Amino acid sequence: MWGCKTPKGVTYTASGFYLDTFVEVTLYGCGSQKIANKAVDMCKYYQNIFNFRDESSTLAKLNQSGSMRVATEEDEALAGLVSIGLDYGKRTDYSLNIALGPATVQWDFINKTVPDKSEIESALKNVTPDKILVSNSRVELNGNKIDLGAVAKGYIADKIKEYLVEEGVDSAIINLGGNILCVGQKTDNKKFKIAVQQPFGRGNEVAFSLGIDDMSVVTSGVYERYFYRDDILYHHILDPDTGYPCDNGLWSVTIISSKSVDGDCLCTGCFVMGLDRAVKLIDSMEDVYAIFIDDNSNIIYSAGAEAFVN
Ligand code: AMP
Ligand code: MG
């Protein structure tokens, strides 16, 4: 490759714990350790914008004040992602609902507590995403509090890919806690092999693996954050109508798409929509594919998705 000084077979990997998860960027073709490190550092930059649980983040400040003038690059990133989240909210009948912040904060998957019903009910009163206004210069929440946990990793993965491509990287995997975005192909001209976990499987049991070129693979699953109380499974993907974990017979949804933010928004949205409605939505979209695992470990494919399995 012109301008590429990386010796054949050399890879550069950087990793860290950001966005509440393990992140890793591996460069296979052109690149350098410095580029890999900078890619991972971008997670820290965006975490300081999007993490609504950190009081000093740009989002936490917006949630607190209720409105924001878009003045800095950080504000622009925040306004941009809020706008994308609202757009996918509309497309999924608000199954993806970034205004669920008051309900999601009630659920504590570290101390494993089930919130009081009254707390959940009062949290839902202030969930009105259609009242959020975003323009180039302002964001107005009009009583809402935003949680971007369902959409941020995809957005950040896309930004990292943009950076890598600008730097001339032609083959890489960006892994943000299982939210995968591939850059180009593997150097041996084979597809990247992306394994998707068997929900509640033993160790690293694989449900299926996919052959991927230059695309994103994002999975939302009940097994990512959950606990049992009185034999009831409580997990982190909430039904916006009830404020309780979505209970619709699905264990996970995997989305294959070009942009990772599309995959991240859609996999959470499709999970909440349930199998039938989600398949219709995905089949109506171009170049987006979904693979579902239900609570009997059945695997269900949207049109064309099975072709990626290898
Ligand atoms: P993901 O892992 O991308 O499916 O995102 C799950 C995270 O998004 C949760 O941990 C919550 O912070 C938040 N969340 C839960 N339910 C929803 C929902 N229905 N719409 C939007 N965000 C949600
Ligand atoms: Mg998501």
Q: Calculate the CA dihedral of residues 113, 118, 119, 122 and round it to 10 degrees.
A: 160
Question: Which of helix, strand or coil describes residue 266?
Answer: helix
Atom number of ligand 1 nearest to Cα 240: 19
Distance 225 CA to ligand 2 centre (A): 13
**Angstrom distance (rounded) from CA 275 to CA 292:** 7
**Angstrom distance (rounded) from CA 253 to CA 3:** 40
Listed as ranges, residues in the chain with pLDDT below 50 are 1
**Angstrom distance (rounded) from CA 35 to CA 40:** 9
**Angstrom distance (rounded) from CA 164 to CA 162:** 6
**Angstrom distance (rounded) from CA 98 to CA 118:** 21
Name residue 228's beta-bridge partners: 233
What angle do helix axes 275-283 and 260-273 make, rounded to 10 degrees? Answer: 140
pLDDT of residue 188: 79
| Pocket flag, ligand 1, residue 237 (CB < 6 Å) | yes
The 67-69 sheet, strands edge to edge: 67-69, 138-140, 133-134
pLDDT of residue 3: 67
| Pocket flag, ligand 1, residue 149 (CB < 6 Å) | yes
pLDDT of residue 91: 97
90-99 residues labelled b (16+ CB within 10 A) or e (exposed): ebbebbbbbb
pLDDT of residue 260: 98
| pTM greater than 0.85 | yes
- Pocket of ligand 1, candidates 238, 247, 252, 265: which has the most ligand atoms within 8 Å of its Cβ, to mutate? 238
Residue 121 phi, psi dihedral angles, 5° rounding: -60, -40
pLDDT of residue 143: 97
Beta strand pairing call for 250-257 and 289-294:
antiparallel
Q: Calculate the CA dihedral of residues 201, 205, 209, 215 and round it to 10 degrees.
A: 70
Q: Where are the alpha helices (DSSP H) in the chain?
A: 33-50, 58-65, 73-91, 101-104, 117-124, 152-166, 260-273, 275-283
- Pocket of ligand 1, candidates 87, 120, 147: which has the most ligand atoms within 8 Å of its Cβ, to mutate? 147
| Pocket flag, ligand 1, residue 236 (CB < 6 Å) | yes
Q: Is 216 exposed, middle or buried (0-12, 13-18, 19+ CB in 10 A)?
A: buried
